[in-house]
Amino acid sequence: MRSSRVNRQVRTLRLALTLVVIAGSLIGCGSPSGTSHPAPTPSVVADAAGFVHPGVMDSRGQLDFVRQQLRAQAQPWKAAFDAMMASQYAGLGYVAKPRAVVDCGPYDHPDNGCSDERRDADAAYTSALAWYLTGDERYARKSIQVMDAWSATLTDHTGSNAPLQSGWAASVWTRAAEIVRYTYAGSWPDLARFQDLLRKVYLPKVITGSTSNGNWELSMIEATQDIGVFLEDRHAYDTAATMYLDRVPAYIYLTSDGPQPRISVRTHASTPDQITKYWWGQSTLVDGVAQETCRDFAHTGYGLSAIAHIAETSRIQQHDLYPQVADRLRAALELHSKYQLGQPMPTWLCGGQLQRELGPVTEVAYNALHNRMHLDLPDTERLTDKQRPAGLDMFSMWETLTHADNPG
């Protein structure tokens, strides 16, 4: 009896997915300029293991929403799209610069292929977005060309920053690959080779986590999760979720944590002095202070961006992590946005001296927390509006285009 019931459930799921595909095929696709291009081919929404595709940062529904706004020449999406298409990353003549071994040190010293790899991943993702939003197949082929160049060449990452570099690059490669694989009807003969690249070169570098600063591990968790989605690797995906729920409470403080911040199981700090040192000297704790706040806002922004990206992908994958991190993420965004907007620094926070370089990292989280969850984030709203259209900052890019006011 139990087996029959399961079989009926599977048949029902398949029928529902078929109806979704048929419905998708009835939706036309015009380019923002009004020229006629074929619509991206609809794809099955979820595989038998429950993964949703495309499902790394951008769902099909989100991409379709953006396409609708562009057809209507609506803002801020049109300005964001124009900025993306004017960038070097959208050029059909873009040439990848792959190498066999990417060797990265702190702050890209040395930079043996590090910047090239990140730029090429950015170009692959930009081209994938351009393909879906315009229907011009040349962009899909360009994205594949860039990914193929690296899958044919790269064998390893070395240097002290190898895990971080792997995390940054893999999280962007997978965004591009998800869109192309699941919306483009053309061929990708070397898809299996690209899958092997993720499985054998990137995943081993990121899946074990990090004892370093939180932005490192959060970027590595993002890559692990994204590779899990693309490869339909449930173990990788679940490992990322477990690490995430350990690291986020250890990265953003809430007063409910008590007099000391939480510590990740992979962090070698246990005494009060060690914990304060790990928190870059900050001993006065208030809601929203992050482990790297007193390092600088730039690295803190990387951490907050990864937190939002991971939660966004989890929501698409029907495993929504936003409710478990929303209070912390909201508090951190409000605290850092307030000072990024220019409010004078109190002396109790980082001695009153901070490098305020919070990049364009607020769009994804603001849309999720404010527009979907109806939380109040006034300072984040002001900063998000001020920074639009959000451009490119490491592994955060074009997020006004993809996530501004996007119901998903």
**Residue pair 47/365 in contact by the 8 Å Cβ criterion:** no
| Average pLDDT of the segment spanning 72-76 | 98
CA pair distance 271, 333, nearest whole angstrom = 28
Closest C-alpha among 93, 171, 172, 161 to residue 128: 172
Instruction: Collect all residues with Cβ–Cβ distance below 8 Å to 33 and sequence separation of at least 6.
Output: 134
Q: What phi and psi, each to the nearest 5 degrees, are found at residue 47?
A: -90, 180
| Average pLDDT of the segment spanning 114-130 | 98
* Pair of tokens at residue 264: 């990740």
Does 97 have pLDDT greater than 50? yes
CA pair distance 205, 241, nearest whole angstrom = 17
Q: Tens of pLDDT along 206-219?
A: 999 999 999 999 99
**Residue pair 368/375 in contact by the 8 Å Cβ criterion:** no
| Average pLDDT of the segment spanning 240-267 | 96
Q: How confident is the model at residue 283 (pLDDT cuts 50, 70, 90)?
A: very high
| pLDDT score at 408 | 83
**Residue pair 96/145 in contact by the 8 Å Cβ criterion:** yes
| pLDDT score at 356 | 78
Q: How confident is the model at residue 49 (pLDDT cuts 50, 70, 90)?
A: low
Q: Tens of pLDDT along 143-201?
A: 999 999 999 999 999 999 999 999 999 999 999 999 999 999 999 999 999 999 999 99
Q: How confident is the model at residue 12 (pLDDT cuts 50, 70, 90)?
A: very low
Q: Tens of pLDDT along 364-382?
A: 999 999 999 999 999 999 9
CA pair distance 369, 26, nearest whole angstrom = 32
| pLDDT score at 110 | 95
Higher pLDDT, 47 or 18: 47
Our CA dihedral for 295, 301, 303, 306, rounded to 10 degrees, sits at -170
| Average pLDDT of the segment spanning 271-278 | 95
Q: How confident is the model at residue 108 (pLDDT cuts 50, 70, 90)?
A: confident
Mean per-residue pLDDT of the chain: 89
| pLDDT score at 355 | 78
Closest C-alpha among 60, 129, 121 to residue 401: 129
| pLDDT score at 123 | 98
| pLDDT score at 6 | 35
Closest C-alpha among 244, 137, 216, 228 to residue 178: 228
CA pair distance 58, 347, nearest whole angstrom = 41
The pTM of this model reads 0.88
Higher pLDDT, 127 or 21: 127
Does 286 have pLDDT greater than 50? yes
Domains and CATH numbers, the chain: 2-403 (1.50.10.100)
Does 268 have pLDDT greater than 70? yes
| pLDDT score at 4 | 37
Q: Which residues of 338-362 are buried (b: 16+ CB within 10 A; e: fewer)?
A: bbbeeeeeeeebbeeebeeebbbbb
Higher pLDDT, 101 or 32: 101
Q: How confident is the model at residue 392 (pLDDT cuts 50, 70, 90)?
A: confident
* Pair of tokens at residue 12: 């029902």
Does 19 have pLDDT greater than 80? no
Does 394 have pLDDT greater than 80? yes
Helix axes 114-134, 77-86, angle to 10 degrees: 130
Does 14 have pLDDT greater than 70? no
Instruction: Collect all residues with Cβ–Cβ distance below 8 Å to 196 and sequence separation of at least 6.
Output: 151
Instruction: Collect all residues with Cβ–Cβ distance below 8 Å to 109 and sequence separation of at least 6.
Output: none
